[in-house]
């Protein structure tokens, strides 16, 4: 066999191995897959859906209200939507939801927040207040065992939903 052909084949194999290793590294470092279990985010994300999570939001990119995030709570991955940002005060009173004393007039919140829940929470420097889209079936920041989500517990922002 000609030596040039062997060198070319070796280069092609090396390029393929490098491309696969690079793709694996990028996908592992920057993205994660999470399986949604339960109906707390329905109808946006349903039970059994797999979501791709952009891990760059863990430390490097800003998070905003309405972003859907994946975070660790008691060792389990959970998916919820951000409603409160660091430094804000969240109040739930008589079935109404307030951020810094401004009433949020969302029909979803109005129809689903229990009038039994009374809450007044000042978010810390790295804390977020999260709720599930399906408030009647969501264990979220309203509950003491979830509470405010610290930035260090956030895996990333939901980037894509695989149905």
**Inside any domain, residue 10:** no
**Inside any domain, residue 23:** no
CA distance 63 to 3: 55
- What's residue 111's pLDDT? 60
**Inside any domain, residue 57:** yes
**Inside any domain, residue 3:** no
Instruction: Look up residue 35 and give its two tokens.
Output: 């399986």
- What's residue 115's pLDDT? 59
- What's residue 67's pLDDT? 96
Give 148's Cβ-side CA count (13 Å radius). Answer: 20
**Inside any domain, residue 4:** no
Instruction: Find out whether 131 and 141 touch, Cβ atoms under 8 Å.
Output: yes
Q: For the chain, first and last CA: distance in Å?
A: 50
Q: What is the pLDDT of residues 116-154, one digit of tens each?
A: 678 899 999 999 999 999 988 899 999 999 999 999 999
Q: What is the pLDDT of residues 72-118, one digit of tens each?
A: 998 899 999 999 999 999 998 887 889 999 988 776 665 666 656 78
CATH code for the domain of 130: 2.10.109.10
**Cβ–Cβ contacts within 10 Å for residue 55, how many?**
19
Averaged pLDDT, 23-30: 77
**Inside any domain, residue 15:** no
CA distance 25 to 77: 22
Decide: residue 150, CB within 10 A, 0-12 exposed, 13-18 middle, 19+ buried: middle
Decide: residue 15, CB within 10 A, 0-12 exposed, 13-18 middle, 19+ buried: exposed
Q: What is the pLDDT of residues 1-19, one digit of tens each?
A: 578 888 899 999 999 999 9
What mean pLDDT, rounded, does the chain reach?
88
- What's residue 114's pLDDT? 63
**pTM to 2 decimals?**
0.81
- What's residue 107's pLDDT? 65
Could you give the number of structural domains in the chain?
1
**Inside any domain, residue 22:** no
Percent of the chain with pLDDT over 90: 60
- What's residue 108's pLDDT? 62
Which range marks the domain in which residue 55 is found?
32-162
């Amino acid at each position: 066999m000609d030596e040039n052909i062997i060198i070319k084949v070796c280069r092609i194999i090396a390029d393929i191995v490098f491309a696969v290793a690079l793709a694996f590294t990028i996908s592992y470092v920057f993205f994660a897959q999470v399986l949604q279990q339960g109906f707390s985010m329905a109808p946006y994300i349903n039970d059994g859906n797999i979501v791709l999570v952009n891990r760059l939001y863990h430390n490097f990119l800003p998070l905003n209200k309405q972003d859907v995030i994946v975070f660790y709570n008691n060792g389990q991955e959970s998916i919820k939507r951000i409603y409160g940002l660091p430094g804000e005060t969240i109040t739930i009173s008589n079935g109404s939801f307030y951020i810094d004393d401004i009433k949020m007039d969302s029909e979803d919140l109005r129809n689903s927040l229990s009038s039994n829940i009374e809450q007044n929470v000042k978010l810390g420097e790295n804390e977020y207040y999260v709720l599930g889209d399906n408030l009647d079936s969501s264990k979220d920041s309203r509950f003491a065992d979830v509470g405010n989500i610290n930035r260090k517990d956030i895996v990333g922002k939901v980037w894509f939903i695989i149905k």
